[in-house]
Amino acid sequence: MKSLKLADCLLTEVPRRLDSERPEGTEGRFVAVFSDSVRNGRFCGLASLTDRATHPGWIYADLVEHRVAHVLSFTDSVSHAMREMDRWDEDALPVLDREGGFVGLVTRTSILRALLQQESRLVRETHRLNREILHDKEQLASWTFRLANLHEASRTLLRVLSHTSLEADLLQHGIEALTQLLQARYGAIGILDEQGGLLNFHHTGMTDQQVAGIGTFPEGRGLLGVVIREDAVLRLPELSKDPRSAGFPPGHPVMHSLLAVPISRGGRGYGRIYLCEKWEGKEFTEEDELLAKSFANSLSLVLENAREMREMQKAQQHLDYLAHFDLLTGLPNRGLIEDRLCQVLANSQRHGRKMALMFIDLDNFKGINDTYGHAAGDALLKALATVLSGVLREGDTVARLGGDEFIILLPEVDSVQDVATVAKKIVVAVREPIRLPEFDHETCVTVSVGISMFPDDGNTPESLMSRADVAMYHAKSVGKNAFRFFTTSQNVVVQQRLRLEIHLRQALARGELFLEYQPQIDIRSGRVVGFEALLRWTNEELGGVAPLEFIPVAEETGVIIPIGAWVLHTACRQAREWRRQGHALKVAVNVSAWQIHHDAEFFNTLKQCLTESGMPGDALELEITESLMVQKTETTLGLLERIKGLGVRFAMDDFGTGYSSLSYLKQLPLDVVKIDRAFIRDIVHDQNDAAIVSAILAMTRHLGLTVVAEGVETQEQVDFLKDHGCQEVQGYYYGPSISASDFAVSWLNSPPSGKNAAEM
């Protein structure tokens, strides 16, 4: 008999699709993917059913580019094809002609089918020869020949299917081949599920009419159940004489002899094989039993391997999911969106199309996390992912980069206006109240959206992402809850801010930070009662940087925590030194609301400063602002009370410039109110400012609070404040902030009067 050729195993009826198309549910297990034309275009690769199930929504180009292309030549042998499948762990390989054109594919199943068909032809040939040769020699030769071929079939079965799962036609061909080799009239294979129920049942030897008459397959309550439960072989010449037989369903053909073998391995039963009614009324022999057991053993190996492969595939699919998708929201992650961006960008460059990239950041997400907890923050991010996905057009992609950052890819756009329309829909949709069912809470949030476009803003993934990020920061800087397109001027601002951040992170270690001190004067006696420590920064490259520039950056980056601790330690050490010289002055230090909310060690740091300096608690005054109350929680108020327990005094800085200031006087444990310089500047000439300052002084006097007026620059201002009951003042009328050594000379050793100070 001729040897098997690759052409005998070739599957030519393979669905063909373009690489730009998306999979449909009606397509087969494998799809051939082409570029430009499915008839004569370039062959790109195969997309399997597993690929499409693992990556729903991907176009065929995405699917085949994630697979290494292994192909066969039309002239290759079947053995070579099988070795290549084993080598690359593939279930199917495409076959190309001499010009590289796709002619079909070969699968493990198609090879097995060809082998079984060849084996079937071999069986028929054996039966024909059996009738032509002498009985004794014919019988011996027939069994030897069949045994050798069945063993070869079993080895081939194991070899072909060692890396795949069983299919219905494979089991059907298997029982047909075994039934013919053992000269049985009926045969069946039953495969069980994990709970022992019948999962698959394949039979041969009965017509469709006979099968319909039976109505139900064997359930394993009789002899076939014994095979599974006892993992035993049954070889019976007469079924009816065995007391364990429960008979057959009505309509089942009458059967006498039975050969049943378990499909099992390592104590686990996968199913059973049974054959009935040997030809010419003969009994099943030991040789028949050996053949059936050998076949069952091969099947058990295949089933065991298939089970392990399914578990490995599940694990691999899970790992693949983790590698490409965000576990919290289910959206593509950074790696997948960057890969997708590269593909879309290449396609846009090839066809001269526009595309857009949106960088999205949730406004004030840290505040939500701090107020309601990280679980609520996660719930909000999942809800936001749903909102963003619902706004997009078909073909657009939304991904989560991490934290509260998302990115949206618009692969084909006609104009800037189209992109602006999508961005506006996003901003409006997110602004709607979002319900968090797990927390029985409804919240309102906003997003800032930055947009870059190809080809106007860049032609690489890195440049487009960077410029979308720059535009997003610009959207935040103009008030958030907005979208902005990238411009060159934005990039300059962001680069300057980034340069400042880089230097600020190193400023403390480089010793670039220092404190200056401004005296606080008792307005009645004119003597110094304390000083305010003011943070200053001078950088070799940037020069002197104003606090209004670097303090917000320090808060955004978290650098304010180590810097704030350094300020406290330095100011307290300086106060200790002056106390040692006999000057018992209070020290006022500005504390950021960010420190109170985010520095878990703030209380311990404060306590350590007092202990090391030996200062009484009431000699330290912490200046806070009304922004502390934006995220007011029981935890925050509890921390302030603990600090108050150390004797430390609290002063509200910039009083009158925020909202609901009067209510804070009641809610916070305050000792001092500092009137902002904006009200002091025109109190002599502006009746409104004069009225406001007079009201503040009268109110705080009744509340028992000390008042410090900031920004005092003239004698007229001093007189007004003195007449209306202000206790303390500071400002350029008395002197600017100066270094510790100058402060000691100017104020502690021989303090000048207000006029002299103003002339300095």
pLDDT tens-digit readout, 326-350: 888 889 988 888 889 999 999 988 8
Worst-scoring range by mean pLDDT, 78-92, 284-298, 631-645? 631-645
Please report the pLDDT score of residue 246 as a whole number.
59
Rg of the chain over Cα atoms, rounded to whole angstroms, equals 42
pLDDT at 629 over 70: no
Please report the pLDDT score of residue 152 as a whole number.
59
Q: Domains, the chain, ranges and CATH?
A: 6-110 (3.10.580.10), 133-310 (3.30.450.40), 334-486 (3.30.70.270), 500-759 (3.20.20.450)
Integer angstrom CA distances of residue 569 from 533, 552, 590, 609, 617: 11, 21, 13, 6, 14
pLDDT at 562 over 90: yes
The residue with greater pLDDT, 566 or 592, is 566
pLDDT at 168 over 70: no
pLDDT at 164 over 50: no
Please report the pLDDT score of residue 156 as a whole number.
44
pLDDT at 591 over 70: yes
395-444, pLDDT tens digit by residue? 889 999 888 899 999 998 888 888 888 988 999 898 888 877 666 667 77
Q: What is the 3-state secondary structure (H, E, C) of 697-745?
A: HHHHHHHCCEEEECCCCCHHHHHHHHHCCCCEECCCCCCCCECHHHHHH
pLDDT at 670 over 80: yes
Smallest CA-to-CA distance from 595 within 604, 585, 583 is with: 604
Please report the pLDDT score of residue 515 as a whole number.
95
Q: What is the mean pLDDT of the chain?
A: 83
Claim: this prediction has a pTM higher than 0.75: no
Please report the pLDDT score of residue 742 as a whole number.
83
pLDDT at 226 over 60: yes
Q: pLDDT band for position 757 (50/70/90)?
A: very low
How far apart, in whole angstroms, are the C-alpha atoms of residue 678 and residue 627?
Answer: 18
The residue with greater pLDDT, 756 or 81, is 81
pLDDT at 549 over 90: no
Q: pLDDT band for position 228 (50/70/90)?
A: confident
Q: Report which residue type is found at 404.
A: D
The residues, ordered by sequence, that sit 6+ positions from 755 with a Cβ below 8 Å of its Cβ are: 715
Please report the pLDDT score of residue 12 as a whole number.
87
Measured in degrees and rounded to the nearest 5, phi and psi for residue 464 equal -65, -40
CA atoms within a 13 Å half-sphere pointing along the CA-CB vector of 714: 10
The residue with greater pLDDT, 492 or 605, is 605
Q: Quote the longest CA-to-CA distance of the chain.
A: 138
pLDDT at 39 over 60: yes
Please report the pLDDT score of residue 760 as a whole number.
35
pLDDT at 571 over 50: yes
Q: Where are the beta strands (DSSP E) in 363-460?
A: 397-402, 405-413, 434-436, 441-443, 447-454
Q: Where are the beta strands (DSSP E) in 4-90?
A: 16-18, 30-35, 42-48, 72-73
The residues, ordered by sequence, that sit 6+ positions from 609 with a Cβ below 8 Å of its Cβ are: 568, 569, 572, 615, 620
Average pLDDT over residues 237-265: 75
Please report the pLDDT score of residue 440 as a whole number.
64
Average pLDDT over residues 549-573: 90
How far apart, in whole angstroms, are the C-alpha atoms of residue 504 and residue 545?
Answer: 10
Q: pLDDT band for position 154 (50/70/90)?
A: low
Average pLDDT over residues 78-89: 88
CA atoms within a 13 Å half-sphere pointing along the CA-CB vector of 740: 15
Worst-scoring range by mean pLDDT, 46-50, 263-267, 429-433? 263-267
Please report the pLDDT score of residue 589 as a whole number.
96
Average pLDDT over residues 728-735: 92
Range of 142-156, 246-260, 450-464, 657-671 with top mean pLDDT: 450-464
pLDDT at 511 over 90: yes
Please report the pLDDT score of residue 160 as a whole number.
39
How far apart, in whole angstroms, are the C-alpha atoms of residue 590 and residue 51?
Answer: 59
| Helices and strands, number each (H, E), in the chain | 26, 27
pLDDT at 216 over 70: no
Please report the pLDDT score of residue 633 as a whole number.
61
Starting at the edge strand found earlier in the chain, the sheet holding 16-18 runs 16-18, 30-35, 42-48
Average pLDDT over residues 444-452: 89
The residue with greater pLDDT, 466 or 149, is 466
Please report the pLDDT score of residue 621 as a whole number.
96
How far apart, in whole angstroms, are the C-alpha atoms of residue 259 and residue 224?
Answer: 10
Q: Which tokens sit at 305?
A: 């391997």
How many C-beta atoms surround the C-beta of residue 39 within 10 A? 7
